[in-house]
Amino acid sequence: MSKRRSKETTVENAECISQVQKILRERFCHHYPSGKLFGIEYQSRHLLELLKRTIIHGESNSALLIGPRGSGKTVLLNHALNELRGMKQVRGNLLEVHLNGLLQTNDKVALKEITRQLQLENVVGDKVFGSFAENLAFLLEALKKGDRTSSCPVLFVLDEFDLFVHHKNQTLLYNLFDVSQSAQTPVTVIGLTCRHDTLELLEKRVKSRFSHRQIYLMNSFDFKQYIHLSEDKTVQDVLQDLFHYTKDLRLLQLLLMFAVSNVTVRHPLVTASDIQEASKQYRMDSKANIVHGLSVLEICLIIAMKHLNEVYEGEPFNFQMVYNEFQKFIQRKAHCMYNFEKPVVMKAFEHLIQLELVKPIERPSVRAQKEYLLMKLLLNSNQIMDALQLYPNCPTDVKQWAESSLSWL
Amino acid sequence: MPNLEHPAYPAATLLQLESLVPCRESQVSMLLSIFGERQQFSFPSIFIYGHTSSGKTYVMKTLLNTLKLPHVFVNCVEYFTSRLLLEEILMQLQSCSETQQTSHVPCDNFSDFVRLFKQAVASRELQDQTVYIVLDRAEQLREMEANILPAFLRLQELTDRNVTVILLTEIVWELFRPITGCFEPLTLYFPDYSIAHLQKILSQNHPPEYSADFYAAYINILLGVFYMVCRDLKELQHLAVLNFSKYCEPVVRGEANERDTHKLWKNIEPHLKKAMQTVYLREISSSQWERLQHDNGEPGQLKGISAHTHVELPYYSKFLLIAAYLASYNPARTDKRFFLKHHGKIRKTNSMKKHEKTSSHLIGPKPFPLDRLLAILYSIVDNRVAPTANIFSQITSLVTLQLLSMVGHNDQLDGPRYKCTVSLDFIRAVAR
């Protein structure tokens, strides 16, 4: 991939760069089917075989594609479908229904969507259905009318399969699997999921109708296969870091996207420093960033909470305790701080709650006094110390106070 | 030397954009490079976080408006259910695609939304450019149905159109991620303004009758007082506007000229410190504060909101409240010692002392039964109190006034437990 990029970008031409950006952006962002599959050839063959059997021989099947997020489930499926569409005997002989668990959140919506995608609306439109069950019965009737040899096969793709499991009684899944088990219209159900325990979530009757065919997509490649694009040492280091963090290819795409978007006419080649810059971008600790922007008073409160956590071993605390701790600090040392009034400190504390660095243990009710609500700190002490190192113009005594908790008691 | 450059947009527009967003050049240039050209695909979802008033909304709005990119801008607090949110997005899409009248589109779930969205984007203007959907205050999305946030994050894939969803929020991405995971957005951080940035931005539009240096010196003093406590640009701007007339006063009266920085500082500093205790906490409203300055009154002579908490209570209610406070903040084992005349020998054990120390005012009020309240009431009131219906109705009316609160609503009549929810200052005022 990178070889081609470097070849093209050597031509210093704005038009050319625009084209390169367009192609690469499409590839990185839009998950454009790029024609090459990486590390999943075996699974691809398996899936293709399965789909072919449905279409050509009229076999009903069901399968589950399981793999972590970003492991190429959708890419694999699209690849297989593309290949199928290219075949002569398939063309015009396959109906596809794509459902997504995020969109079709209940069976009623899903049913409507199936009707729409099968273009049965005009058929359904004339009839008045009283209930969901009748509508489903009609659709199934339309499916049942055919038999194995004559009727057009239907392919159901259920993206985010684990969300369909939470539908009431799993009616949709039951009916789909039931059709695929009995000798009616050839139906293939492909589920895509990232949960490995999806089968345990199925009801017993649904599970028994599912042919336990599972295709696993693990990111089963090692670092040598992962890089294969650069001999540069710095780039390799960055990639090694990324690889230790995750084998997910989407993060690699994100990194490359960052690097590519910096390519301009003046700067036509992707350099190692671009990649480094991009990796810095995704490795930022977000909470440290937030702590960096707090005021000195808020930092003091966080340190007080840290001390409370250390002394009382993670017991929840309330505002009064934090204020007490802060007062102790002010009275004993703190030459640079003047004494803030309690409401001012309270306002700072509420800002911390608003940023969700501190979280109430129970929902605050109207009746309870806000000083005595029990809270929990969502930062650990290492994060606080690291953030304090980077904090601009931190008063020295605050820093000293942060380091020594016990000597103040 | 302009900092922003991009082949797709004219240099003049970029220059104008740069002047509109001070101290945010690197963020804007990064956003520009990510957005790319109009017809190019951009990242499916961008997550932008940063502090309160670090210019997230402002930068995004000015960027999209100056470059005239087709966009939809929705505040999730305003449209707080998924239905309202989706319908609003569709409405705004209609209006940015054509100048015809917009009509209300009913849409109650995401499945319909995707279908209608495809229809709306199919118009000629929107077909081959990136459409931006900006969701401000995106932390509200977590309160909606579980599928809304993940679906927005992969809207580009679901609709198969060139669309980018931008989420603006104060809260970090780690607290957004659903349990089963989702499409990871590109996270960008808008860093906080440093003190120099704040100074630059605040002294940008100075009042025309005074010089820029004069105003900059004022801002410097203001930041000197408030920077420790507050880094919120909006709050500082508000305070700067409110207190400026006081700062100019010596100059207007002729006691000092514009160069007497020290004199001016001496004049304004106590005033600003007073402002922190009053206006900053909204004890005194800003209009009151302005009127006070105008009449040359002493700041702080007005009673703030919290000073008005004193409530006129009937005689027995006062005693009831005091008794409740005593019951809430004292352990039951010391009752005998404090309230009985002839208590037994006082045994000072170590454990007792330690226990009392922690339980005082730190942990908060403890619940107590009604019997204990009445017993304390009888002992602190000198004359005889008859347990009439009035006394009991006063207890419940204290509960409705939220001075007491009932704990564990298990039984109304049989042995209810109460908690005292007023502060020490309030009780002191009542006891006096």
Residues of A in contact with B229 (CB under 8 A): 295-297, 340, 344, 348
For residues B84 and B94, what is the distance between their CA atoms, to the nearest angstrom? 16
Most B CBs within 10 Å, among A18, A28, A29, A106, to test the B interface: A29
Q: Which of B42, B189, B192 lies closest to A284 in CB terms? A: B189
pLDDT at B75 over 90: yes
Residues of A in contact with B362 (CB under 8 A): 318, 320-321, 324
What's residue A1's pLDDT?
Answer: 40
Looking at the structure, tell me whether residues B266 and B380 fall in a common domain: no
CA distance B350 to chain A (A): 20
User: Tens digits of per-residue pLDDT, B137-164?
Assistant: 998 888 888 889 999 998 988 888 888 9
Cβ neighbours of residue B227 closer than 8 Å, sequence gap 6 or more: A295, B195, B198
Binary contact (B37, A18; C-beta < 8 A): yes
Check if B426 contacts A (Cβ < 8 Å): no
What's residue A4's pLDDT?
Answer: 43
Q: Is residue B345 a part of any domain in this protein? A: no
Which token pair is B135? 């969701």
With 0-12 / 13-18 / 19 or more C-beta atoms within 10 angstroms meaning exposed / middle / buried, residue A346 is middle
What's residue B151's pLDDT?
Answer: 92
Decide: A5 and A244 in contact? Cβ < 8 Å: no
Check if B405 contacts A (Cβ < 8 Å): yes
B-chain residue closest to A277, CA distance: B30
Check if B125 contacts A (Cβ < 8 Å): no
CATH number of the structural domain spanning residue B93: 3.40.50.300
Decide: A317 and A305 in contact? Cβ < 8 Å: yes
Looking at the structure, tell me whether residues B54 and B134 fall in a common domain: yes
Domain boundary among B160, B189, B218: B189
Mean pLDDT over all residues of chain B? 83
pLDDT at B166 over 90: yes
CATH number of the structural domain spanning residue B419: 1.10.10
Decide: A277 and B29 in contact? Cβ < 8 Å: no
Looking at the structure, tell me whether residues B83 and B117 fall in a common domain: yes
Looking at the structure, tell me whether residues B132 and B173 fall in a common domain: yes
Q: Is residue B91 a part of any domain in this protein? A: yes
DSSP letter for A220, please.
Answer: -
Beta bridge partners of B188: B48
Binary contact (B181, A194; C-beta < 8 A): yes
Pairing state of beta strands A187-193 and A61-66? parallel
What's residue B364's pLDDT?
Answer: 80
Looking at the structure, tell me whether residues B178 and B223 fall in a common domain: no
Domain boundary among B154, B189, B224: B189
Looking at the structure, tell me whether residues B32 and B152 fall in a common domain: yes
What's residue B135's pLDDT?
Answer: 93
With 0-12 / 13-18 / 19 or more C-beta atoms within 10 angstroms meaning exposed / middle / buried, residue B91 is middle
CA nearest to A306, candidates A296, A297, A317, A295: A317
Residues of B in contact with A29 (CB under 8 A): 41-44, 156
Looking at the structure, tell me whether residues B110 and B203 fall in a common domain: no
pLDDT at B47 over 90: yes
Mean pLDDT by 10 residues, chain A (409 residues): 42 69 75 67 86 82 87 84 79 81 87 83 63 70 63 84 88 85 80 88 88 79 65 74 76 78 72 78 82 88 90 86 87 69 88 89 70 86 87 84 66
Q: Which of B40, B54, B171 lies closest to A356 in CB terms? A: B171
pLDDT at B304 over 70: no
What's residue B252's pLDDT?
Answer: 85
Q: Is residue B171 a part of any domain in this protein? A: yes
Model confidence band, residue B134 (pLDDT cutoffs 50, 70, 90): very high
Sign of the C-alpha dihedral computed for residues B153, A291, B226 and A308 taken in this order: positive
Helix (H) or strand (E) holding B250: helix B233-253
Structural domains of chain B, count: 3
Domain boundary among B307, B323, B349: B307
Decide: B122 and B63 in contact? Cβ < 8 Å: no
What's residue B1's pLDDT?
Answer: 36
Looking at the structure, tell me whether residues B122 and B86 fall in a common domain: yes
For residues A25 and B186, what is the distance between their CA atoms, to the nearest angstrom? 14
Is the ipTM reported for this complex over the cut 0.90?
no
For residues A327 and A340, what is the distance between their CA atoms, to the nearest angstrom? 9
Looking at the structure, tell me whether residues B39 and B145 fall in a common domain: yes
Q: Is residue B350 a part of any domain in this protein? A: no
Query: Taking residues B17-35, what's their average pLDDT?
Result: 84
Check if B37 contacts A (Cβ < 8 Å): yes
What's residue B73's pLDDT?
Answer: 92
A vs B, Cβ pairs < 8 A, gives: 169
Q: Is residue B248 a part of any domain in this protein? A: yes
What's residue A141's pLDDT?
Answer: 73
CA nearest to A294, candidates A338, A375, A357: A357
Q: Is residue B3 a part of any domain in this protein? A: no
Decide: B427 and B309 in contact? Cβ < 8 Å: no
Model confidence band, residue B169 (pLDDT cutoffs 50, 70, 90): very high
User: Tens digits of per-residue pLDDT, B84-103?
Assistant: 999 999 888 887 766 566 67
Decide: A71 and A217 in contact? Cβ < 8 Å: yes
Q: Is residue B35 a part of any domain in this protein? A: yes
Looking at the structure, tell me whether residues B27 and B156 fall in a common domain: yes
Coil vs helix vs strand at A99:
strand
CA distance A99 to chain B (A): 10
Q: Is residue B96 a part of any domain in this protein? A: yes
End-to-end Cα distance, chain B: 70
Model confidence band, residue B74 (pLDDT cutoffs 50, 70, 90): very high
Check if B182 contacts A (Cβ < 8 Å): yes
> Which stretch of A132-141, B69-78, B246-255, B370-379 has the lowest confidence by average pLDDT?
A132-141
Cβ atoms within 10 Å of A56's Cβ, excluding its own: 14
Comparison of pLDDT for B100 and B321, the residue scoring more: B321
pLDDT at B393 over 80: yes
Helix (H) or strand (E) holding B166: strand B163-169
Check if A290 contacts B (Cβ < 8 Å): yes
User: Tens digits of per-residue pLDDT, A267-288?
Assistant: 777 777 777 777 787 777 888 8
Pairing state of beta strands A154-159 and A358-360? unpaired
Query: Taking residues B249-270, what's their average pLDDT?
Result: 83
pTM, to two decimals: 0.86
DSSP letter for A115, please.
Answer: H
Residue B395 structural domain: 315-338+362-431
Which token pair is A43? 């699974």
Looking at the structure, tell me whether residues B302 and B204 fall in a common domain: yes
Looking at the structure, tell me whether residues B54 and B162 fall in a common domain: yes
CA nearest to B167, candidates B139, B192, B148: B139
Which token pair is B406? 């009932």
